[in-house]
A and B are shown apart, each in its own frame.
Chain A
């Protein structure tokens, strides 16, 4: 048992490291794939002073052979040194850590909404076939077709402009003020993913509901509530957790759109601004961050799977 689990883990970690290597390599070599010499590319349009050239050469180790450049740069990145923004001349790590709390707040807020709304609607729709199921299906069908930028303008125009319940922009300060400022962004971010989660939850629940062991539990006089909790929902968790893992990366991207739409100063809007301003070192840093978070989230999902379904650990690599 335990050795199987260890092998399962080791395989996953090795795979993750390989993918991180590969993605970081792509992100790094983009500097060289771009037309023109790296310094001109990085400075695009900004006046190149001997000083800025020296800074960039040091940052990207441009005086070294290509592969060595990559490994030196990777070493810097792994030690938390992402270099300096060419636009703001600031240390990128500091810029990101400054903005991280706001983004984290927004993402966690949205996650809570996604989990509550998605699970509740999915369960409701699986357990109440007929009218309620139809209504939820139509709703989730709409929700997955509404991208975050459209959800943002709709929420903004109704709840901020027309009703004046929520602020139009900004993130606020302090917990309750942030909660108030970030409610609309969080809902805009959550809508599509909640719809997706509801659909997966519904399908997974229906699949389990049709299993014989559920009827067996009923035949043994287990109350319906307990049948649903301990047999149906419990067994349906696998696909639900998997889909949450795959949502993480696209959710981080959606966060950048929502932050932009609501003028929230977070890591996401920093990415968008940096792409617009052609501030490539910042784009690199945030991209790597997104990939790393995606990897970690999916490692957690992989680790949860054997706990949810004991058959996974034994089978080793199930994919």
Chain B
């Protein structure tokens, strides 16, 4: 009421919703999201680099046991001290980024792909396909991802495989439901109707327009899910269902650090715990930042 409404049509040629920009412009646009977003992006990049180059960065073999040096404190030789078996906590932390990121990557990657297919089909076809999909989604809602993972571990045994597959299955309905609602919204836009009238096939409209237009939103959601997948997979490893000793993994490390904790030795448990929290917060900030950007562009 207070300000005059902006004119409906602005001068110049209408821009397509997706703008093509060069790399420097992209980086500047990222920075425009605020310092917190930038820091989070930097943290994630460092995490990925750590996971890739862990063998070059780690000062020690992460599985090298040295019982004489059990539970050493922080020192120039061992920045973060050692664990109960005398393994270097810092090296284990660096290596832990590998399983820490790989598991969630598989879970989120596959469930996002499947979820997009399910969601778009449900939104586009409606009718019985839609209700069938929402019924199966309802069922999977009753099975929290970790519970399904535990069931799978009970059947197929511990290790990263069973939990990762279970979580792919359990995450898909969440993505599907999300994609369905976003696709529904996108579908109601006039341009879709226009393509239909022009005789485009459903397949071309979906693959060339609908899906590319919803991908940024879905991608933002995937970044947030990545954090949750990380928490849950590390939790399964903490319980002894996922990655197994002696492999360095953050969840495994938190578990192993729990008994030194009672002796008031905090680093073996707190170092991986901090790593998990930082990674999850960074994914959350990036995801929400991306979601904000998409929302702003839509306006």
Question: Which residues of A pack against B, CB within 8 Å?
Answer: 15, 18-19, 22-23, 27, 30, 33-35, 41, 141-142, 144-150, 153-154, 156-157, 161-162, 168, 246, 249-250, 252-253, 257, 260-261, 271-272, 274-276, 278, 280, 283, 287, 290-291, 294-295, 319
Contact = CB atoms under 8 A, between A and B. Distances in A.
Given A18-B135, A34-B156, A249 B144 contact: yes
Contacts of A35: 156
Given A23-B139, A253-B146, A276-B240, A34 B155 contact: yes
Given A147-B234, A156-B261, A319-B134, A30 B276 contact: no
30 contacts: A15-B135, A19-B142, A23-B143, A30-B154, A34-B156, A144-B284, A145-B231, A145-B280, A147-B232, A147-B234, A147-B235, A147-B276, A149-B254, A150-B273, A153-B261, A153-B269, A153-B273, A156-B258, A157-B261, A157-B270, A161-B262, A162-B264, A249-B143, A257-B235, A261-B258, A275-B150, A275-B153, A275-B241, A283-B154, A287-B147
Contacts of B276: 147, 150
Contacts of A15: 135, 138
Given A23-B142, A168-B262, A291-B142, A142 B277 contact: yes
Interface of B: 134-135, 138-139, 141-144, 146-147, 150-151, 153-156, 227, 231-232, 234-235, 238-241, 251, 254, 257-258, 261-262, 264, 266, 269-270, 273, 276-277, 280-281, 284-285
Given A27-B151, A161-B264, 12 more contacts: A34-B155, A145-B284, A148-B235, A150-B254, A153-B258, A154-B273, A157-B270, A249-B141, A252-B147, A272-B150, A287-B151, A319-B134
Nearest to B276: A150
A249 B248 CA distance: 30
A144 B283 CA distance: 12
A52 B151 CA distance: 23
A272 B143 CA distance: 16
A252 B257 CA distance: 24
Given A34-B156, A257-B239, A19 B234 contact: no
Contacts of B277: 142, 145-146, 150
A249 B142 contact: yes
B272 to A, nearest CB: 9
A261 B240 CA distance: 12
Contacts of A30: 151, 154-155
Main secondary structure of the interface of B (DSSP, over half): helix
A252 B143 CA distance: 11
A144 to B, nearest CB: 7
Contacts of B235: 147-149, 257
A145 B142 contact: no
A268 to B, nearest CB: 11
Which residue, B150, B241, B261, has most C-beta atoms of chain A within 10 A?
A: B150
Nearest to B230: A147
A105 B135 CA distance: 33
Contact of B144 (A150, A253, A260, A319): A253
B138 A19 contact: yes
Nearest to A278: B154
Contacts of B232: 147
Contacts of B151: 27, 30, 283, 287
Contacts of A141: 281, 284-285
A257 B238 contact: yes
Contact of A253 (B141, B147, B262): B147
Contacts of B144: 249-250, 252-253, 290, 294
A274 B154 contact: yes
B129 to A, nearest CB: 16
Contacts of B143: 23, 249, 291
Contacts of B238: 149, 257
A165 to B, nearest CB: 15
Contacts of A144: 284
B281 A271 contact: no
